[in-house]
Chain A
């Protein structure tokens, strides 16, 4: 992995470093356009950094091995009993896997830049902090989507053996999975921004995710301040919000919840990155 991928991207990005429109006029349209070009360049560099290093494959191979094993076992049982293999139950397995994979993907993103010293250069470069954080986030989400793509092979196998998969439900599951793991990744980037040590970033990110998982099981059975706290904790649990997606139902509450958490974590990550300027 190129240690200073983003810093190199800064040096290599013609879009923002030599953007006459931005320098001269600075109109809203050109600023936005420049921002997105900058974002695109940085994201592309992050993504290529993922794929041109063994990192992505080191994570993907065991992931495929594990899901392939579960799929084969489920398939064998279903076929021997002439039963149905519900793809949605299989896909939902990925949300637990995401808890382990997300910290692995994000722990290096900012922590590594700090450790290698390229972070200082990155934050002093004419790149907005939002652009830095967002590009890293988008790249990690795209990588996660890439990890999910082999799932299409399982659907194809089911179709081949006449299982008639429910495509609407499967699509909904994938949307939910991208949103859920999107929260994991945003939270991972936040922890990566806090520290210069990848291991610390990864472990603390996993612990935080685990706590968010456990919060769904907290049942204080209290109505303190006239609030049903069981419902509050249930609402806070990430995995409870995934259940509707697992069934094949899009619920605006779940979408808003995931989206607001993603925005919140990324906002905090930007603030942490910014803090290097004044701390």
Chain B
């Protein structure tokens, strides 16, 4: 008994044939027609069957020759065809031959248009589409065209809306492209437009890497607020075009490349590329002995840029006064007491880089410290300050003033008269040279044999501080330790009053010592003459002023004393860590050290640890990537081809 589920209408038609024998004969003929191809080609059979296959089904049962049935099933299995669909098509061909269109008719339909249809002999059962007139076709075509135009408009509208309202999600595990909450908060509250301008000209591979990261970061700033516009002026365009670009932005063109200029209205601040990252110098000696930085130790651009934006948004520029008139280094050009001995470069840096006003205070002509002074700096006075002048400074401090003192040892004791004054603020100044024999702190390590003792002695006076105290000033010094040269000792006074909070900022090593007898030139500790290290080189003092508010709003006097002034000299600017100590001190004095404090990102190492001489590893990688995987794919392909061929 042959049984199969077929379209109910077909089964009914078969049943209408009457006797069992007639039914069996019809089905057998249909099966044979499929097998020998006389019933029609497969495509026509399936096409004839498919419209009926969707309807209700009924079971057809007839007595057939088992061999024929087996042959039919094997045929369907071999051709990967459904037996019921094929049989249904064959039965349609037998019972309703008009519904069965030969393959040639399909080909003709596909090849010919309406005209050829007209010329061709009429098909036995034309498809519904053939009955469509021109207007119906035109209407359908117009409908499709309108749908297409609407779809296109929807794509454009979606793109426009998506462009206006979008979200970004940093998919990196190290959050390389995420701004901190502090930055987000600042950007969300920007009321005025901020322009960030860059002009890149990398000189080293490290700079290329840093610039790439800075560009990515700036892009996040631009996405963070509509008020932030980032403009990159190509460094290689002609100078006039660059000048015009800066003019259009209302900015002064910087003299050197690789600075990030942050501007808001008429205020601008510059962040140099070096200030945006901490470099790892590897085995080199702090860049003083050649070699330069090799890798990025930490990426701190976000802190620098966010602080800069906050800085230019401030309503009032902080005002710094430098004491003048006592043979201090000059604020104007290189001058003062010698070539490149002035502090004009520092002044420029403070004005354009920090967005502060820098002015001179001549205490001989203007007795009181100006009211607008936010911080007073006294840099290595060569003459004694009069008691009245010191009194003005004292009064200034006592009303919540800020003082930065940079001192130098001198053969004449207390030349400026500041030692006594500073003792009242809990600071002990030791007039002598700090000598640093430790190799890890010295800037010059290799000393040629036979070099004069004097030279060796001079080299011992030049060193970097490696030991920092816990203080906002020193914590940010990072990998750029400040350099000292012929520094004097500055320490906390043992009998400092408890209301004075004195914190050492930097110290020399335990191997160092301080020599108060300046006529000695030995490079070793002289017992009885020298005092053994470590020697404190800088201190920060804070005094909360009584009756001037409580808690965070309480006024306080702040004071930083550094036992060396080379950090601010013109000849030292741009050298390793030269002014970081001073700048950090000034920021702390102006209470800007906590304005924005964002943790620097430590770049993840993606470096390969393959030794170049390990050829074996390289051969392995080559075999896997270049030969192994393509060969596997080719073998699979060959196997498929071979199996199908059989």
Contact = CB atoms under 8 A, between A and B. Distances in A.
A114 interface: yes
A85 B606 CA distance: 7
Nearest to B220: A249
A80 B612 contact: yes
Nearest to B177: A249
Contacts of A226: none
The secondary-structure label for the interface of chain A is helix
Contacts of B610: 75, 79, 161
Q: Which of A164, A171, A274 has most B Cβ within 10 Å?
A: A164
Interface in A156-200: 157-158, 161-169, 171-172, 175
Contact of B624 (A126, A153, A253, A271): A153
Interface stretch (A61-69, A103-111, A128-136, A137-145): A61-69
A124 interface: yes
Contacts of A10: 46, 50
B634 interface: yes
B226 to A, nearest CB: 14
Interface stretch (B77-85, B449-457, B512-520): B77-85
A211 interface: no
Contacts of B627: 68
Contacts of B81: 8, 11-12
Interface stretch (B136-144, B401-409, B521-529, B550-558): B136-144
A161 B630 contact: no
Contacts of B140: 278
Nearest to A125: B50
Contacts of B609: 82, 161-163
Interface string A86-128: 1000000000000000000000000000100111110011100
Please tell me the size bucket of the interface on A: 35 or more
B628 to A, nearest CB: 8
Contacts of B630: 61-62, 64-65, 68
Contacts of B144: 271, 274-275
Contact of A8 (B80, B106, B132, B136): B80
Nearest to A249: B177
Nearest to B161: A256
Interface in B610-626: 610-612, 617-618, 621-622, 624-626
A279 B127 CA distance: 12
B637 A64 contact: no
Interface string B44-55: 001100110111
Contact of B82 (A12, A20, A53, A80): A12
Contacts of B85: 11, 17
Nearest to A66: B630
Contacts of A235: 159, 163
Interface in A220-279: 235, 244, 247-253, 256-257, 260-261, 263-264, 267-268, 271, 274-275, 277-279
A153 B151 CA distance: 41
A29 interface: no
Q: Which of A22, A61, A85, A261 has most B Cβ within 10 Å?
A: A61
B352 to A, nearest CB: 31
Interface in B594-613: 604-612
Interface string B81-115: 11001100000000000000001001101100000
B622 A72 contact: yes
Contacts of B629: 64, 68, 150, 153
A223 to B, nearest CB: 15
A35 to B, nearest CB: 14
Interface residues of B, number: 78
A117 B608 contact: no
A60 interface: yes
A165 to B, nearest CB: 7
Nearest to B86: A11
Contacts of B216: 247
A161 B625 CA distance: 14
Given A11-B85, A18-B57, A126-B50, A248 B634 contact: no
Contacts of B47: 120-121, 124-125
B159 A252 contact: no
A83 B170 CA distance: 25
B162 interface: yes
A61 B637 contact: yes
Given A8-B80, A267-B151, A278-B141, A72 B625 contact: yes
A260 to B, nearest CB: 5
B608 A82 contact: yes
B9 interface: no
B137 A247 contact: no
B172 A169 contact: yes
A200 B51 CA distance: 33
In order of increasing CB-CB distance, the 3 nearest A-B pairs are: A57-B637, A79-B610, A172-B171
16 contacts: A17-B53, A22-B54, A58-B637, A62-B630, A114-B110, A120-B110, A163-B606, A164-B604, A166-B172, A247-B172, A249-B168, A249-B171, A250-B169, A250-B171, A256-B159, A260-B154
Interface of B: 5, 43, 46-47, 50-51, 53-57, 80-82, 85-86, 103, 106-107, 109-110, 127, 129, 132, 136-137, 140-141, 144, 147-148, 151-152, 154-155, 158-159, 162-163, 166-174, 176-177, 216, 604-612, 617-618, 621-622, 624-627, 629-630, 633-634, 636-638, 640-641, 644
